[in-house]
Amino acid sequence: MIEYRDTTDGVTAEQLLGFFVGWPNPPSPATHLRILERSYAVILAVNVESQRVVGFITAISDGVLSAFLPLLEVLPSYQDQGIGSELVRRMMAKLSSLYMVDVVCDPNLESFYGRFGLTTRTGMVLRNYQNQSGD
Ligand SMILES: CC(C)(COP(=O)(O)OP(=O)(O)OC[C@H]1O[C@@H](n2cnc3c(N)ncnc32)[C@H](O)[C@@H]1OP(=O)(O)O)[C@@H](O)C(=O)NCCC(=O)NCCS
């Protein structure tokens, strides 16, 4: 069974293993926990039996007009069960008083995010790969 939480209270780095799949220089679980703690809002999907975090989404925001969703991930063995959609749905509800909620994604995910009312724009990004681990 999956439980959704909107706080990192009581969460440890050990519960955060397995994320950042495919990242060459991923954040460690301890850094991941720091990312979650310092975000404006977070939703976690937790396997109730194992207490393992199996999915998460973060938002950063000015708390007045705008928010950005930098990270969304569901562990591979938990994908395609509706968990990612539930994380986005709950985050959108949390941010519903804001004017702008933006995400940058690959074209293959446009239809996924489109289900939540997001529309396609052109985004521009900078990546300093030497800083990817967050250390
Ligand atoms: C994107 C992601 C969070 C979706 O999580 P999930 O729990 O599998 O999502 P759901 O089960 O709610 O929905 C799955 C839907 O998303 C679609 N989807 C997921 N990943 C996709 C991909 N790479 N390309 C195209 N569609 C994708 C599935 O086809 C599915 O569509 P369906 O409902 O019509 O079958 C998950 O695939 C993931 O962690 N991917 C790797 C990290 C990532 O890409 N994050 C997004 C950064 S912007």
Q: How far is the CA of 112 from the centre of ligand 1 (A)?
A: 7
Residue type, position 126, single letter: L
Ligand 1 lining (C-beta closer than 6 Å): 72-74, 79-85, 103, 105, 108-109, 112
Q: How far apart are CA 65 and CA 98, in angstroms?
A: 5
Q: How far is the CA of 2 from the centre of ligand 1 (A)?
A: 17
Residues belonging to the chain: 135
Whether the predicted model's global pTM rises above the 0.85 cut: yes
Q: Which residues, 6 or more positions from 89, have their beta carbon under 8 angstroms from its beta carbon? A: 116
Report the b/e string of 78-99 with b at 16+ CB within 10 A: beeeebbebbbbbbbebbeebe
Give the pLDDT confidence of 14-62 residue by residue, as tens digits. Answer: 999 999 999 999 999 999 999 999 999 999 999 999 999 999 999 999 9
